[in-house]
Each structure stands twice: as C-alpha cells, then as structure tokens.
Structure 1
C-alpha cells in the first residue's frame, strides 16, 4: 500500500470498491452490459455539460497528482484509471 496508512480513507475506499466490483461481477451478462451502457451515457452527459473553463480547472487525484479534465478524460477513455 505504499505511503497509505491503514486508517487512510483512500485505502478504505479502495477496499470497498474492490468488494463491490467482485460482488457485481457475479451478475448476469445482460445486467452488466446495461450498467456499462448507462454509465457510458452518464459519463458522456457529464463531459458534454462541462463549461469551457472547467476543462482547465485542476483537481487533485487520490495519488496527490494535479490533473485537469482535458488530460484526465482521454486517460479514462483509454482504460487507464489514475488516482
């Protein structure tokens, strides 16, 4: 876990997320596909709703790295999920 401490909220969140992913993986394929489609639609809606100035606003990732939506969105679309 590197620099994380056991009481670190990021560590607890990572563990909770991993458990939810594992539990969700047992669902029927059609349900998983429907979830992916719904998530993609929400993502597209959120991206389209960003005002121009927001594309250059910096946000801190869980890793402490500062990113902008202009650099984060393409990374997420490639499947690499930093922070």
Structure 2
C-alpha cells in the first residue's frame, strides 16, 4: 500500500470517528436540552412561590445546578475535542 493510500485511509478513519462522535454528542445534547428545559420551568415555578423553598428544596436546587454545570463543562470539553480533531485533519 502506498503512503498516499495510507494517509487517505487514516484521514477517512479519523473523519468517520469525528463524525460519529459529533452525531453522538448532538443526540446526547438533544436529550439534555429537553430534560433541562423542564428543569428551568420548575425553577421558575419555585421562584414564584418563595415560601416553598425549604432547606431540602434549597439543597436539591444546589445539587441540580452543580450537576448542570458539570454536564455543560463536559459538553464543552467534547466539543473542543471534536474541533481539535477537525483542525488536526485539516492541517494534515
């Protein structure tokens, strides 16, 4: 096999991998978006009734917000990884 064919196959393999990762990320983010849009509505409802914010409710809100922050960071890292992979094959 020539070097050109090997390089082309490596490029196509990397491209296919990045495409797969991108599609999986889009699917995951779509589910995430649906779940957290519901959560935002719930937070808005709680904010309209501040007397219902008990210590356990406050703790639950903190926990959900923390998980949300971690999930958003995870998506950011995955997007950055895919972008770096795309940059690498573009330079290649």
TM-score range, shorter chain: 0.3 to 0.5
TM-score (norm 1): 0.37
TM-score (norm 2): 0.34
Between Structure 1 and Structure 2, which shows a larger proportion of strand residues? 1
Between Structure 1 and Structure 2, which shows a larger proportion of helix residues? 2
Higher-Rg structure is 2
